[in-house]
Structure 1
Amino acid sequence: MAFHWALLCYGLITLIVAVSFLCGQWPIFQGTPISFIHRFLTFGAYQYFLKFVGALLGDKGITSILSVEYYCCDRPNPILQIIYLAIIGSTYCIIVKTTFQYIPGYYLSGVHRYTSLLAVAIGILLFLLTSFSDPGTVTVDNISQYLSVYPYDNIIYTKKECSTCKLPKPARSKHCSICNRCVARFDHHCGWMNNCIGERNTRYFIAFLLWHFLLCMYATIAIGLVIAGRLKESKIVYILTVYYGVENSFRGLAPHIVQWLLGSYNTQILLMVFMAIVSLLLAGFFAYHAKLCLTNTTTNETFKWQDYVSWQKKLVEARASSAALKASIDGVNSERKPPENKCKPFFKRSSLENTEAVEKNNVYDKGFFHNLYEVIFPVRIKASHLHTKSKSS
């Protein structure tokens, strides 16, 4: 029974930590324990660690830690790439060692020994494509092309020069301080890939998220079918009902079956819990980035639009307050003016309510199918192809 509670606590703690670390900054979790855990994991724990090192080793210890932090967080490095390969490799090896002995089984055929290996290989291939492909680096040779493809909207993008590259900065591009290069249609820098996600490799990144979500779901369902097959082949229900006199109902059988499964297949159940949690997280990431792609927006632009809309709302509120103040002063100065109809202000919309009408006007959003096509077939590739074709003709 102690193991059962340990398994339950393991699943809950894993889920809480994963959600807190990845999603704790979301507005929906503001003021909740999830937000507190997120702050502790991303900031508080590290500060306490620095204080501990400082008390133990002094300034030299802190300097060493900060130099490691600079290498891990501010410079390109393969640490997370190695961790990814270690996770997927070790997880697959554990599944092979603990579960393949039951394949083929009652519900699964032997072909899954090979399809699982193929699925993992495709996942690693997408990882390598995303990690080592050019995200769309802006150079002297292609800058004129990017300037023509992505016009300035004069809202969140205006004509300017990159202070580092000393090149005109195309709209939708951003200089990555980690990779030290300007990237066209910049989305974000992904530490797991040790690469920027931009115009050229967004398609690989989306495919990576989708495939790994499906891979985790496949593993969860396959292991579940293996366990169900073992339950069927071992005739546990028959033994419980006939030899032990357990009532043949869900309420009567469930506790005994769960106890038998946890005692006999605890490793497989732990793997199922882990895969299910990871698949949910991947589903959330994929849905978020798929929405960005279908609206032709990037993660970088999402923050820019938030700042712009916030600034516009404050500007409208300031104008509304100024107009209200002016109206009140005019009302005091014109006491002899006949009073207005008392019903009119009731139906009149408050000037402060107009702040809700401030919305973004994304000129790059050209419709569902065009946006999807632009992600699958990057603009620069199409433009280069057309340029080459016109030269040859």
Structure 2
Amino acid sequence: MDVQWVLVCHGCLTVLVVVSFLCGQWPIFQGTFIERFHYFLTVGAYDYFLRFVMYVCGSRARDAVLSVEYFCCDRPNPILQIIYLAIIGVTYYLVAQSSFKYIPGHYLSEVHRFASFFAVVVGVLLFLLTSFSDPGTVKSENVTQYLSAYPYDNIIYKEKECSTCKIPKPARSKHCGVCDRCVARFDHHCGWMNNCIGEKNTRYFIAFLLWHFLLCLYGTVVLGLVVAGQLKELKVIYILTAYYGVENSFFSLAPHVVQWLLSSYNTQILLMVFLAVISLLLVGFFGYHLHLCLTNTTTNETFKWQDYLSWKRRLHEAKASTAALKASINGITAEQKPPQSKWRAFFRRSPLDDVDATKDNIFDKGYLRNLHEIVFPLSSRRSVLRSKVD
């Protein structure tokens, strides 16, 4: 029983760490223990570690740690790629080692041995395709092509030159400080891919997220059916009710069944929890990026639009406040007017209620055309190439 509780605590701790690390900044966790734990994992623990190194070993040791941090976080490196391959390889090995002996089973046919391997291979191929494909690097040779593909909206994008590359900066592009290059329709730099996500590989990145969500969901369901099949074949419910006198109801049987599963199939249970948590995280990331694709917005532009709308809202509020102040001054200096009804004054709208800050995204052309632009990038279309030649 002690071992079972250790496994339960281990699973709960794993879920807490994964959710806090990956989702601690989500608005739903604002002001909660998850947000504070996320800060400790991402900033606080490292800061205490640097102070400890400085106190024990001196400034040279701290500078050495900072140089390692610079290489790992601010320069292209394959560390997270290796970690991804290790995670997917070890997970598949554990699933095969612990559960393939039960396939075929009561609910599963032998085809799942080969289907699971095929699913993992496709996932790795999508990972490699996203990692090593060109995200849409803007160079002096193709800058006119991107300038014609992405016009300036004169709102969040205006004509300017990249201070690093010394070439005109097309709309929706950004100079990546990690890769040290300008990327067309820049979304973000993905450390897991060791590559930027831009115009030409966003389609591969979206496919990667969707496929890995389905892969984790498939693994969770298969492991669940393996455990359910063993529960059926070993007649656990029958033994509990017929020989141990347990009442044949869900609430009576559940504790005994869970105890039996944790003692006999703890590896499968832990793998199920791990895959289920990862699938939930992946579907969240996929849903977010799918929304960006449907609205033809990038992660980089999300922050630009937030800054622009915040500025525009403050400007409207300032104008409305000025207009209200002038109206009040004019009312004081003007001739006495008949008193206005209190009810009418109560229901009268404030000038601040008329504040309007809208997002005028000229790149949003409708769901279907936006998706078509993701699958078939603008810079590779014949019309753009023809305009480049002209």
- TM-score (normalizing by structure 2): 0.95
Larger CA deviation: 289-298 vs 141-150: 141-150
Larger CA deviation: 235-244 vs 6-15: 6-15
Flag the 1:33–1:383 CA change in 2: closer, same or farther, 3 A: farther
Deviation string, structure 1 residues 321-376 (Cα, Å, up to 9, x no partner): 22222222223322x24246335544432111223x21211110000100011111
Aligned equivalent of 2:380: 381
Q: Say whether 1:144 aligns with 2:144.
A: yes
Q: Which letter does structure 2 place at the counterpart of 1:375?
A: I
Q: Which letter does structure 2 place at the counterpart of 1:363?
A: I
8 Å CA contact 2:148, 2:384 repeated in 1: no
Q: CA deviation at 1:384?
A: 7.3
Q: CA deviation at 1:272?
A: 0.4
Q: CA deviation at 1:385?
A: 8.5
Q: Which letter does structure 2 place at the counterpart of 1:97?
A: Q
Deviation string, structure 1 residues 39-68 (Cα, Å, up to 9, x no partner): 212211111110011011100111001101
Aligned equivalent of 1:21: 21
Larger CA deviation: 217-226 vs 22-31: 22-31
Point out 4+ residue stretches in structure 1 off by more than 4 angstroms: none
Give distance in 1, aligned partners of 2:24 and 2:309: 23
Aligned equivalent of 2:236: 236
Q: Secondary structure at the match of 2:137?
A: coil
Aligned equivalent of 2:265: 265
Aligned equivalent of 1:338: 337
Q: CA deviation at 1:168?
A: 0.6
Q: Secondary structure at the match of 1:157?
A: coil
Q: CA deviation at 1:96?
A: 1.1
Give distance in 2, aligned partners of 1:315 and 1:101: 67
Q: CA deviation at 1:150?
A: 0.8
8 Å CA contact 2:54, 2:62 repeated in 1: yes
Give distance in 2, aligned partners of 1:132 and 1:172: 22
Q: CA deviation at 1:254?
A: 1.8
Aligned equivalent of 1:99: 99
8 Å CA contact 2:262, 2:269 repeated in 1: yes
Q: Secondary structure at the match of 1:175?
A: strand
Deviation string, structure 1 residues 123-143 (Cα, Å, up to 9, x no partner): 000000000000000011211
Q: Say whether 1:364 aligns with 2:360.
A: no
Larger CA deviation: 103-112 vs 5-14: 5-14
Aligned equivalent of 2:64: 64
Q: Equivalent pairs: percent with the same residue?
A: 66
Flag the 1:5–1:278 CA change in 2: closer, same or farther, 3 A: same
Aligned equivalent of 2:124: 124
Q: CA deviation at 1:24?
A: 1.9
Aligned equivalent of 1:247: 247
Q: Say whether 1:78 aligns with 2:78.
A: yes
Q: Secondary structure at the match of 1:363?
A: coil
Flag the 1:291–1:159 CA change in 2: closer, same or farther, 3 A: same
Aligned equivalent of 2:111: 111
8 Å CA contact 2:120, 2:215 repeated in 1: yes
Q: CA deviation at 1:84?
A: 0.2
Give distance in 2, aligned partners of 1:227 and 1:26: 34
Q: CA deviation at 1:11?
A: 3.0
8 Å CA contact 2:379, 2:385 repeated in 1: no
Flag the 1:186–1:17 CA change in 2: closer, same or farther, 3 A: same
Q: Which letter does structure 1 place at the counterpart of 2:227?
A: I
Flag the 1:142–1:16 CA change in 2: closer, same or farther, 3 A: same
Q: How does 1:296-307 map to 2 (within 5 A)?
A: 296-307=296-307
Q: Say whether 1:325 aligns with 2:353.
A: no
Give distance in 2, aligned partners of 1:33 and 1:316: 37
Larger CA deviation: 70-79 vs 337-346: 337-346
8 Å CA contact 2:189, 2:197 repeated in 1: yes
8 Å CA contact 2:152, 2:171 repeated in 1: yes
Deviation string, structure 1 residues 163-187 (Cα, Å, up to 9, x no partner): 0000110000000000000000000
Flag the 1:21–1:354 CA change in 2: closer, same or farther, 3 A: farther
Q: CA deviation at 1:10?
A: 2.6
Flag the 1:147–1:239 CA change in 2: closer, same or farther, 3 A: same
Flag the 1:383–1:52 CA change in 2: closer, same or farther, 3 A: farther
Aligned equivalent of 1:46: 46
Q: Which letter does structure 2 place at the counterpart of 1:94?
A: L
Q: Which letter does structure 2 place at the counterpart of 1:310?
A: S
Give distance in 2, aligned partners of 1:125 and 1:15: 28
Q: Which letter does structure 2 place at the counterpart of 1:35?
A: E
Aligned equivalent of 1:7: 7
Q: Secondary structure at the match of 1:246?
A: coil
Q: CA deviation at 1:5?
A: 2.9
Q: CA deviation at 1:89?
A: 0.4
Q: Secondary structure at the match of 1:196?
A: strand
Q: Secondary structure at the match of 1:54?
A: helix
Aligned length: 388
Give distance in 2, aligned partners of 1:197 and 1:52: 37
Give distance in 2, aligned partners of 1:90 and 1:26: 29
Aligned equivalent of 1:55: 55
Q: Which letter does structure 2 place at the counterpart of 1:186?
A: F
Q: How does 1:99-248 map to 2 (within 5 A)?
A: 99-248=99-248
Aligned equivalent of 1:352: 352
Deviation string, structure 1 residues 237-284 (Cα, Å, up to 9, x no partner): 222222222222222222221111111100110000000000000010
Query: Which segments of 5 or more consecutive residues in structure 2 lack a partner in the other structure?
Result: none
Larger CA deviation: 81-90 vs 140-149: 140-149
Q: Secondary structure at the match of 1:200?
A: coil
Q: CA deviation at 1:114?
A: 0.7
Flag the 1:144–1:385 CA change in 2: closer, same or farther, 3 A: closer
Give distance in 1, aligned partners of 2:286 and 2:174: 23
